[in-house]
Amino acid sequence: MIIHPIPPLYDKNSQILILGSFPSPKSREAGFFYGHPQNLFWPLLAEILGQENPQQTTAARREFALKNRIAMWDVLAACEIKGADDNSIEQARANDLSPILSACPIRAIFTTGKAAKKYYDLLTFPQTGREAIYLPSTSPANRAMHKKPEFWAAWRQVAEYLRED
């Protein structure tokens, strides 16, 4: 059983929550979300928000997310997983999102990838009662999808929720 080693990222201004399934070995090694150098998450977020891609440091990425009112964590607190293969997840245990949801004016919850959506709906939705919006994975394993218009359209929802003030 691997225990999730990365604390949630949020502050009192966070308005959207982005949840992955469980951190990859590269993210666990980096100690922060979407740490694989080929993961499209950070450049994609910068692109849809019309900003420069943050430097590849935890501090720069933390600042970027918080400045843009984005909270981040993962659906799972612990699981058995082979490498970064979400299809191999077993014995999944959910994170408790209540500290984030009670501290922040979260207007939308997004899940990145099919496994995050599946485990959110199965394990977390019963506790929160809040629907999550599915976003396609930014993982290098999903590279073929990254060029499709529907991939970008789905992710632009993040920017739309952040513009609604």
Q: What is the mean pLDDT of each run of 10 residues along the chain (165 residues)?
A: 94 97 90 90 95 95 97 96 87 97 97 96 96 93 79 95 79
What's the pLDDT at 83?
84
pTM, two decimal places: 0.94
CATH of the domain at 26: 3.40.470.10
Count the residues in the chain: 165
What's the pLDDT at 163?
86
CA dihedral of 103, 108, 113, 116, whole degrees rounded to 10: 40
User: Which domain covers residue 127, as residue numbers?
Assistant: 2-163
Cα separation, 46 vs 2, whole angstroms: 31
What's the pLDDT at 139?
85
The number of domains in the chain is 1
